[in-house]
Structure 1
Amino acid sequence: MKNIILFILLFSIKGYSQNISKIRIDSLITAIENNNQDMGSVSVFKNGEEVYKRTFGDINISALKITPNLKYNIGSVSKMITATLVFKLVDEKKITLNDKLSSFFPEIPNSDNITIKNLLEHTSGLQNFIIKDSNNHWLKKQASQKEIIDEIIKQGYAFQPGEKVLYSNSAYYLLAKIIEKKYNSSYSAALEKTIIKPLKLQNFASFHNHNYNNIAPSYLYEDGWKKTDDFYFENVIGVGDIASTMYDTNLFISQLFTGKIISKASLKAMTPTDGDFFGRGLINTSFGGNILYGHHGDTYGSHSIVLYDPNNRIAISLVLNGERLSKDDFVYYLLNCIYKNKRSLSERQINSTEAGLYTGTYNSSELPIKLKLSYEGKFLKAEVIGDSPFVLDKIGENKFEYFASGIIIEFNPSEKKMLLKQRGQKYQFTKDQ
């Protein structure tokens, strides 16, 4: 499959120009579709207008009848929306970034020291309520708010605020509840009033919205596509519950960056600064010398990414509700179709001898995770134990990157060590014996 896509890229990419070639993108997606690799939807905007759209995949599945308003779960892209609502509250002077969590949830451990800003930028030290006692599927069934808050309290904090960066679903769950408190309404009603109606988003909804319907189900591939259970999305409101068309997610992020939702000062505060990966609700991605901002999301069955390039005014939204070729590979190829990238596929790959130097399980005293490195399809893959694997590209001797998350990994095979760098943060790992 990768070789087919490489062939398409080599013979179709002429480099980036002001015009985005629909033919190049179509060739890519047709190859993916014909090889039954993915199903989903993609939209590309240029200067605020949609220049490419396509819904693709196995349309013989009756539940996937394509309609213009077919929505998809966009997972943690919802966090970008939650952060925007927080900054709306800042602009309205209803909160400040320095307000303490204890003003809203005094029962949360260390809440006297955790600020709104910490929650937004994943520096609060709070952890991940999605996983409960090593069970990362407990939220497929409805849970009460009390059960979730109790789990956040039970997990406590991993470090003092500002000391480190740790992606925190718990932080964004609490932010969504703070939004409800300050607007004195449900999260869905606040979203409807402040974003959906003003931007005229026709197919964009949180869980309790009247428009939360006609959503494509998720599939896994096991000798054919089979429907899979996903979150009970009320459990992750503001964290990963929003469903949307790719047109509407592009419309949202385009208008976010053109000042239609929050103030310039708030957008600047939301955006990652140089050397950072996480901002306060936005991530930073670099490709071919172009800087893009947005967010990515994964549920149990859907995989999405939304990006915006402010210099070229390009917005890209992709969602897969059936994934064999990973969304990260898909996005890499898609960006190749839009921007110039001279690195061939073979330059990103390794052989089995090289793989033997890197594969194994790694631990860090600085992060509460285990990282498993494996070799598959000529690529090195990394996986936080209990999460989805992601593909690493070789970019130098003993050096790899995961471009979508700004991760650089440098190996020292002789000492069985690995240094993981992510937008200014550095974490040392040691390989298990």
Structure 2
Amino acid sequence: METNKEAMGTISIFKQGAEIYNSSFGYKKMESKERANENTRYWIGSISKTYTATIILQLIDEGKISFNRKLGEFFPGIVNAKEITIKDLLLHRSGLHNVTNDPSFEVWIAEPRSRKEMVARMKKFKPVFKPNKMTEYSNTNYVLLSYIAEEIENKSFEEILERRIFKRLNLKRTSFNDTLNLANNEAMDYFPENGDWSPITYQTNLTGTMGAGGIISTAREVNIFYNDLFSGEFLSDQTLKTMTTPVGDDLGMGIAVSTMKGSDIYGHTGRIDGFRSMAAYFPEEKLSIALTFNCGKGSMVKKMKRVLNAYRYTFK
């Protein structure tokens, strides 16, 4: 991948809860020729949705909220809020317009955005379809779910993540709602231009992305979370089964559910600015793979398949 200028970043592979492979390639900062390493942090984008879904499902297991609770109890001003349920939000079946599809959003989100500003922007758009009539991916759903978690817990989403996931798993290189900090062994992100990588200087401000894409982590620590989640460490058996049962378009709750090279897979891709990532768990093999890149071109799914092929060739 590095030789062909397809990507730069870190790959981690866990088998039965233990890391069996970790390799970084390319530069975390090209201008100073600083190479990435196993502790380099990357923005993981929409993989954050798996963490958000886990928190909401924990609250359901604890009886603090239910799948049938209505969005209107929290945000009555949003269209169809009286009909949209927590389950609809989790499964991308709310019909709410994807706020990130607005052509001006990329510039707007470069500044810090409060809950009030985010919700006001969501209210501007008409629904795409009636609640629970079809499935269509929308970042709006998971921004709202993180706000709902804050209401239920009476804490910031950062505090909720720290208490329920980060500290529980001793994830010292994982954080939420941060800004790019190159001094903390974080990668600068790049985009392909004229056969090389060019730096992205106009960054998303993660205060607005919330639970839809606000987490920064390492490949290893993403794998720790995915391995523990799908091994049953966070949710009841029934709730984990519900999470991993798709309802239309292979979308579960905070994950996609599909097959790859003949094996079932639970996973999610991530894309934010120049960062590209993918996390995958293969339940039959108790295998998890995390790709965290600070630049990339082409399909992350195809890259995951290549890593899976290399794993099977090497370790079997």
TM over 0.5: yes
For 2:82 and 2:88, the matched residues in 1 are separated by 12
Match of 1:50 among 19, 22, 37: 19
Summarize the alignment of residues 212-231 of structure 1 with structure 2, pairs less than 5 Å apart.
Answer: 213-223=184-194, 224-228=196-200, 229-231=202-204
* Equivalent residue letter for 2:291: L
Structure 2 CA distance for partners of 1:40 and 1:68, relative to 1, 3 Å: closer
User: Is the 8 Å Cα contact of residues 99 and 105 (structure 2) preserved in structure 1?
Assistant: no
Deviation at 1:104, TM superposition (A): 0.8
Letter paired with 2:198: K
The residue aligned with 1:35 is: 4
User: 1:195 maps to which residue?
Assistant: 165
Rate the CA distance shift 1:63–1:118 in 2: closer, same or farther, 3 A.
Answer: farther
SS for the counterpart of 1:266 is helix
Deviation of 1:339 after TM superposition, in Å, equals: 4.4
Deviation at 1:156, TM superposition (A): 3.0
Q: Scaled by the length of structure 1, what TM-score is found?
A: 0.67
Query: Match of 1:215, as an amino acid?
Result: E
Whether 1:185 aligns to 2:155 is: yes
Q: CA deviation at 1:274?
A: 8.2
Structure 2 residue aligned with 1:322: 295
Kindly tell me: are residues 326 and 274 of structure 1, through their superposed partners in 2, closer, same or farther at Cα, counting changes over 3 Å? closer
The AA in structure 1 aligned to 2:146 is A
Higher relative contact order (CA 8 A, sep 6+): 2
> Taking structure 2 as the reference length, what is the TM-score of the superposition?
0.91
Indicate how the Cα distance of structure 1 residues 66 and 40 shifts in structure 2: closer, same or farther if over 3 A, else same: closer
Partner Cα separation in structure 2 for residue 325 and residue 33 of structure 1: 13
Q: Is 1:335 paired with 2:305?
A: no
1:299 to 272, 275, 285: 272
Question: What 5-or-longer segments of structure 2 have no aligned partner?
Answer: none
- Segment of structure 1 superposing worse, 156-165 or 78-87: 156-165
Length, aligned pairs only: 308
Corresponding residue for residue 278 of structure 1: 251
1:66 aligns with 2:36: yes
How far residue 88 of structure 1 moved from its aligned partner, in angstroms, is 1.0
Deviations 1:129-153 (A, max 9, x none): 1133555442122233222111111
- In 2, Cα distance between the equivalents of 1:64 and 1:90? 44
Q: Secondary structure at the match of 1:155?
A: coil
- Aligned residue runs from structure 1 range 29-428, under 5 A: 32-58=1-27, 60-62=30-32, 64-132=34-102, 135-207=105-177, 213-223=184-194, 224-228=196-200, 229-273=202-246, 276-339=249-312
* TM-superposed deviation, 1:127: 1.3
Q: Secondary structure at the match of 1:233?
A: coil
**C-alpha RMSD of the superposition:** 2.1
Q: Kindly tell me: are residues 275 and 150 of structure 1, through their superposed partners in 2, closer, same or farther at Cα, counting changes over 3 Å?
A: closer
CA distance in 2, matches of 1:225, 1:159: 39
Larger Rg: 1
The 8 Å contact of residues 108 and 156 in structure 1, kept in 2 or not, is answered as: no
| Aligned mates of 1:132, 1:302 — CA distance in 2 | 20
Instruction: Note the alpha carbon deviations across 1:10-69, whole angstroms, 9 max, x for none.
Output: xxxxxxxxxxxxxxxxxxxxxx22233311111001011001111111465437443442
Deviations 1:215-245 (A, max 9, x none): 2121113243221033111110111010101
**Structure 2: which amino acid aligns with 1:57?**
G
Contact 2:10–2:22 under 8 Å retained in 1? yes
For 1:268 and 1:64, the matched residues in 2 are separated by: 43
CA contact (8 A) 2:281 2:288 kept: yes
Checking the alignment, whether the CA contact within 8 Å between 1:220 and 1:323 is kept in structure 2 is: yes
Q: Is the 8 A contact 1:64 1:216 kept in 2?
A: no
**Residue type of the alignment partner of 1:174:** L
How far 1:171 moved relative to its partner?
0.9
Give 1:197 shift.
Answer: 1.0
